[in-house]
Amino acid sequence: MCGIVGYIGPRQAYPVIIKGLKRLEYRGYDSSGVALIDNGKLNVYKKKGKVAELEEEVLDKNLNSHIGIGHTRWATHGEPSDRNAHPHVSNSGEFAMIHNGIIENYVPIKNDLLKKGYTFKSDTDTEVLLNFIEDIKKNNDCSLEAALRIALKRIVGAYCILLIDQNDPETIIAARKGSPLVIGIGKGEHFLASDASPIIEYTKEVVYVNDYEIAIVKADELVLKNLGNEKQTPFITKLDMELAAIEKGGYDHFMLKEIHEQPDTIFDCLRGRLLSHNSQINLSGVDNNIEIFKNAQRIVMVACGTSWHAGLVAEYLFEDLCRINVEVEYASEFRYRNPVINKGDVIIAISQSGETADTLVALENAKEQGAFIFGVVNAVGSSIARLSNAGAYTHSGPEIGVASTKAFTGQLAVLSMMALKIAYAKGTITELRYQELIKELEAIPEKVKEILVDTSNIQRIAEKYKDATDFLFLGRGYNFPVALEGALKLKEVSYIHAEGYPAAEMKHGPIALVDETLPVVFVATKDKYYEKIVSNVQEIKARKGKVIAVATVSDTVIPTMADDTMFVPDTDEVIAPLLSVVPLQLLSYYVGVAKGFDVDKPRNLAKSVTVE
Ligand code: G6P
């Protein structure tokens, strides 16, 4: 949700910033802009649309600057337009600022500034905050840093901001609360960004700025302070990410690359943790807190979007294997509902980015009430990872495509290992079943590979149904959340209306939609509901619906009933979602591409939703 980049040092700032913005475009792409200081003069360029359009705009400008800030926007206040694009410039023309987040009390502040004669060129809360800072500076005759500190104490909301001053081309001032900020430390230069991807090719040493910290960044100096003006010691972390991981590597889209990476990412997730030779699962976050999990009265999964679907799969896993009562909560509802949190409750936070605002705040609230928070997170060092009492990374690598794919299967792999480990520790599964499931889980990467060997059948099915206006996705048991995820994926990248439903519940409403134009996708792998789902397929066929099935390779019945079938290898039903979701990811991808959409950056979406 908005990407920010800053640079100060001996290089030309503009190319570093533009390249960085392209890497961060998954966070927002409705407009972008840069501010540079050249020869004591502040120059701002901004443009509605993707970063490439900004680049075109500044093509013939002779840019020369060693300090700059850039922004790619996901609109909150004010429609996507040139004038609402960041950076914004203060009334005096001296200061420029970019912002990721939301200032909730911007209206009274704006009214106050209007009365004082301030004017606004945009509809954004950011321009209000910037002029508020300028006004405080003027009234108190203080430094920009001091004015910023005062302003931040008075505003309500979330922010990561970068601020530059035309009269001080040696300094970028940054601050964060609730929206991420990473500072890369080079030799005589510093890089600032929303995540490490714009920084990785220049340096691997980074500092993750904490909430309520201000960074005063010069080419050869980084000072961190809290809002009380006390210096903080920057904690330098070494990135273990490689540049290749954030490039397309020969694929047409990141989404396709990430779908195809899954055999490796799931393998990486299991590596060193799932040890079939001695039937062991090593997850230090669980090991170190095993008594908490064994005694848990209730597990609450808190997440948004695709991660929420992983939580739903985990509900089946933990109830089934561990006999623990599980609830799965949308973070946005949970945080405002005044939920009852009891001693003995464990919260499992699931998040790819580790920065989703609703999830983060829901966890902060739960932690305040004494809950134990376990993070299942992909982005190393992210806010949710740091807030958690313990956790397990999914190790899926950077996910750039806005529609989540490999992060989902990474989450399922971690949650499956957790459930197995806890069930074994509690004695709620037999030794034999435990060993069986470890073996099945270990075989998953190879089985995902089998699905990906030849995707031409799925591509053909996508072409056949791409003009449908609606889709229904149905599944039972472990495959019900997969049906929801299939529908979400299709909506996200093809803009086709799609609904996911429990296959049996379909009779209580959605069946009214069925006619010869409605494709109904059944996630119908061989499991204990198989016979029942066969009946559900018949019910759709009887009403002339078009049936697309995800079926087990050995199945000889469903393929004869369905109009089209996508096959997956056989596995145990408790880990079946790790396979059955893959054809649905591909189906969405190919439908989106066939319709000519930018599947990596679907309209209106952002990868990391850092506003509530
Ligand atoms: C956005 C993304 C989804 C993601 C959701 C939750 O909506 O587009 O792909 O599932 O946020 O994000 P998180 O990073 O917390 O998993």
DSSP string, 116-145: TT---SSS-HHHHHHHHHHHHHHHHT--HH
Mean pLDDT of 447-471: 97
Q: What is the C-alpha separation between 559 and 543, in angstroms, rounded?
A: 18
* Distance from C-alpha of 359 to C-alpha of 299, rounded to nearest angstrom: 16
The predicted pLDDT at position 397 comes to: 86
Q: Are 552 and 565 in contact (CB under 8 A)?
A: no
Active site residue 142: no
Q: Give residue 119's Cα distance to chain centre.
A: 36
Is the minimum distance from the CB of 607 to ligand 1 under 6 angstroms? yes
**Probe ligand 1: pick from 352, 491, 601, max atoms within 8 Å of CB?**
352
Length of the chain, in residues: 612
If you average pLDDT over every residue of the chain, what do you get?
94
Query: What digits encode the pLDDT tens for the residues 142-158?
Result: 999 999 999 999 999 88
Whether ligand 1 lies within 6 angstroms of the CB of 180 is answered as no
607 is catalytic: yes
Candidate of 411, 414, 609, 612 to mutate for ligand 1, largest count of ligand atoms within 8 Å of Cβ: 609
Q: Where are the alpha helices (DSSP H) in 288-330?
A: 290-295, 305-317
The whole-number pLDDT of residue 276 equals 86
Percentage of the chain beyond pLDDT 70 is 99
Distances, alpha carbon 537 to alpha carbons 71, 460, 486, 504, 582, in Å: 49, 21, 17, 10, 21
Model pLDDT for residues 557-612, shown as the tens digit of each residue? 999 999 999 999 999 999 999 999 999 999 999 999 999 999 998 888 877 777 77
Q: What percent of the chain has pLDDT over 90?
A: 80
Q: Tell whether ligand 1 has an atom less than 6 A from the beta carbon of residue 405.
A: no
| Residues 77, 64 contacting (CB under 8 angstroms) | no
Quick check: CB of 394 below 6 Å from ligand 1? Answer: no
pTM, entire model: 0.81
Q: Is the CB of 609 under 6 A from ligand 1?
A: yes
- Which residues, other chains included, contact 232 with Cβ-Cβ below 8 Å and sequence gap of 6+? 210, 213, 224, 225, 226
Catalytic residue among 137, 489, 601, 607: 607
Residue with the nearest Cα to atom 2 of ligand 1? 607
pLDDT in tens, 368-394: 998 999 999 998 888 899 999 999 999
